Amino acid sequence: MSPTPTPKPVAQFSPPTTVSAPAAFAGWDAAGVANDAALRAEAGESSEGNIALLLTPGGPDGVTLRQTVSVAPLTTYSFGVDHFASLESNTAISIAVGGNALTRLEAAQTAAEWEHASWEYTTGTDEYSLELSINAAGDTGSARIDNVSLNVAGGENLIANASFEDYAADAQITNESLIMQSGAASIGIAARVQSAQWNVRDVSGADVESGSIEFQNGLGLLPLGELRQGYYSVEFASVEGNLPVQTLTFMVLDEAALAEPDERFGVGTHLDRDYYAGSELPAEQIGFTSARTDMFWSKTELNQGEYSFDPTLDGRIAAFAARGIELLPISAYANKYYDGGVAVSSPEGIAGYANYSNAIATHYGATAIELFNEYNHEPFNKGACGRTGSCYQQLLAPTADKIHSESPGTKVVGPANARQDDPFLTELYQAGGLQYLDAVSFHPYEEGYNSGPEFLIANLEQANARIREFNDGKPKPIWLTELGWSTSLVTESQQAENLIRAEAIALAANVERFFWYDLVNDGLDPVEAENSFGLLHQRSEVLPAFQPKPAAMAQAMMIRKLTGKAFSERDTLSETSYSFAFGEGAESTRVAWATSPVRVSYETQSPVVMTSYLGAVTELKPKKGKVTVDLGLQPVFLDGDLSKGRVVK
């Protein structure tokens, strides 16, 4: 039977009514602007004209705007300002004229509406100029200022650009993120045009919604609160001039935040690279709980025995941690003070590596650390010992002993092989490596990888069997700390499909954590394979928010569907059909697909919710105790109490 669409959900949130862009204001000098978001022009919530000043200080020192005006001595002037801050804000506004603080306007003093404050100031005998300063300080929230005035009673306003209408802002999309909440989605645009036409399409290219935007003095807001959960593109066009981005992609999620974290889902990053700045927000929105990143020994031990951790990298790691994403550091690779600057094998070099690895664990309070990356891969290991399991064991044993002894809360993970490399692992296990590892990691870019993720089934069966062989028949957690597909080699839709299929297979096969490679594209040339593994495109001047690929939506759906649900069973279907159940009974979710098209029926007495890999939701009503689903390469999620899945002949 054909599935029927679920009713359109009632939005729990409302789209924003304002749009703002980083700006410079004529007549005003700024100080303390530590980031692009601190000082903005905002449309949609002004007290006078089209534009208000939006201050987002992001710290106790805040941001200050100043203006100096000419005045007459011994004259009384009236000063006034309109202001408000949201009730959730701790931002306070301080006003000073002539060096004298007039007042401090705390956010708690105001409702979420405009208020007017006014004072009088009398100049001194030799006072011919006055400096007016407006400071906003606080860790959370923002404050708005508009309609500033300074005048003698009945005289003209001496403040230049008093309502902040005269501003300069780069043409750009103004969103902080392009991952949005259903019912509250919107796209802001800064462009010097009067109006623009827009058209939203779904992933198939079908038109979903269209309309026009009217701009208020260079700022326009496209409300998209009616869109259902899904992955979309939007196109803008204007007859008056060019808009900053003609087409961009975005995603809408019904469940913007997860009720509880799921430690199984991590992501590869390169947090030392500048294009990762700010990527903690989309990483959190997608639902990741850990981020794997390089910790280069050569960049940290700059003087032998002394460690200098990069403050910029520390700041990015702290930003991820503040959003609930813990660090999986890679202790990589070599240092000029030991063994000629290649992978160490001498006792002194190994001791140096052990000390450095433990310093990482201590500095970051890491719950886990991965020892080396792809030790068996020649580009990373040119050491004298070689690239064998026995050589890695010589590095692993003393390093793990030191970490387990001095940083007992830190798990040791390794060897992070390029490919599974069973001969390497067998040699490592024979040398006793499993007793030092809390989790076995590898990167299964194996034969069959280019044909799709299903190769992982046999690959992981063999990996688990080898562990049990050398671990008294007992399993040990496997972490796949790198696996992904580049969109220079597969389509963006295929990347998304492969992500769900690979993660479902892995989680059903004793993989404790899966780190998708990687979060952000590593380059801008789409032909170069290494540039295009990311879930997100790099930001640009006109698009300062990370633009998601379909795989970002697929990952968000995978996490939301499986959070809190352990693997329970695999349905026996055909050789090319796959159906993995997570959770139990009515709370279970199946991840199902087929590499050759097939129709499958499941027994159930209750309606089943089917969600596509990109978030489209339909309801399947049982007929004679069964629901029927057509499966193909695009995975679906099936929520409900299902049993006895079988192929329909």
pLDDT of 429-478, one tens digit each? Answer: 999 999 999 999 999 999 899 999 999 999 999 999 999 999 999 999 99
Separation CA 28–CA 66 (nearest Å) = 6
Q: Give yes or no for residue 10 having a pLDDT over 50.
A: no
Separation CA 253–CA 258 (nearest Å) = 11
Question: Which pLDDT value is given to residue 232?
Answer: 98
Higher local confidence (pLDDT), 607 or 104: 607
Question: Which pLDDT value is given to residue 470?
Answer: 98
**pLDDT band at 396; cut points 50, 70, 90:** very high
Candidates 555, 583, 553; CA nearest to 569 is 583
What amino acid is encoded at 481 in this protein? T
Candidates 14, 18, 11, 322; CA nearest to 175 is 18
CA atoms within 13 A on the CB side of 561: 33
**pLDDT band at 103; cut points 50, 70, 90:** low
* Contact residues for 221 (Cβ-Cβ < 8 A; gap 6+): 16, 17, 18, 19, 43, 44, 186, 187, 188, 189, 213
- Degrees, nearest 5: CA angle 446-448-451: 135
In terms of Cβ atoms closer than 10 Å to its own Cβ (0-12, 13-18, 19+), residue 11 is: middle
Q: Give yes or no for residue 619 having a pLDDT over 70.
A: yes
In contact, 577 and 519? CB cutoff 8 Å? no
Give the least confident one: 99-103, 152-156, 220-224, 606-610: 99-103
Question: Which pLDDT value is given to residue 104?
Answer: 56
> Which contacts qualify for 526-532: CB closer than 8 Å, 24 or more apart?
526/487, 526/488, 527/488, 528/488, 529/486, 529/488, 529/489, 530/486, 531/486, 531/488, 532/486, 532/487, 532/488, 532/489
Residue in the block written with tokens 């098209």: 597
Give the least confident one: 94-98, 127-131, 371-375, 429-433: 94-98
Q: Give yes or no for residue 133 having a pLDDT over 90.
A: no
Question: Which pLDDT value is given to residue 92?
Answer: 77
Give the least confident one: 33-42, 301-310, 516-525: 33-42
The average confidence (pLDDT) of the chain is: 92
β partners of residue 511: 478
Q: Give yes or no for residue 110 having a pLDDT over 60.
A: no
Task: Tell me 6's DSSP state.
Answer: P
Question: Which pLDDT value is given to residue 15?
Answer: 78
Dihedral (Cα; 637, 640, 641, 644), 10-degree rounding: -30
Question: Which pLDDT value is given to residue 332?
Answer: 97
Separation CA 533–CA 306 (nearest Å) = 35
Exposure class string for 582-598: b at 16+ Cβ within 10 A, else e: bbeeeebbbbbbbbeeb
Candidates 364, 363, 298, 297; CA nearest to 327 is 364
Q: Which two tokens stand for residue 566?
A: 């352990």
Question: Which pLDDT value is given to residue 606?
Answer: 94
- Degrees, nearest 5: CA angle 579-534-189: 110
Q: Which two tokens stand for residue 274?
A: 């500048």
What is the per-residue pLDDT across 490-516, written as a single tens digit (0 to 9) for each?
999 999 999 999 999 999 998 999 999
* Contact residues for 62 (Cβ-Cβ < 8 A; gap 6+): 32, 55, 91, 135, 136, 137, 138
What is the per-residue pLDDT across 284-331, written as a single tens digit (0 to 9) for each?
999 999 999 999 999 999 999 999 999 999 999 999 999 999 999 999
Structural Rg of the chain based on CA atoms: 29
The pLDDT of 609-619, averaged and rounded, is 96
Length of the chain: 649
Q: Give yes or no for residue 230 having a pLDDT over 60.
A: yes
Extract the runs of DSSP E, i.e. beta strands, from 139-288.
143-151, 167-168, 172-173, 179-181, 186-190, 195-202, 207-214, 219-223, 230-237, 247-253, 265-268
Using DSSP, state whether 285 is helix, strand or coil: helix
β partners of residue 484: none
Using DSSP, state whether 181 is helix, strand or coil: strand
Q: Beta-carbon neighbour count of residue 510 at 10 Å?
A: 17
Separation CA 509–CA 292 (nearest Å) = 21
**pLDDT band at 3; cut points 50, 70, 90:** very low
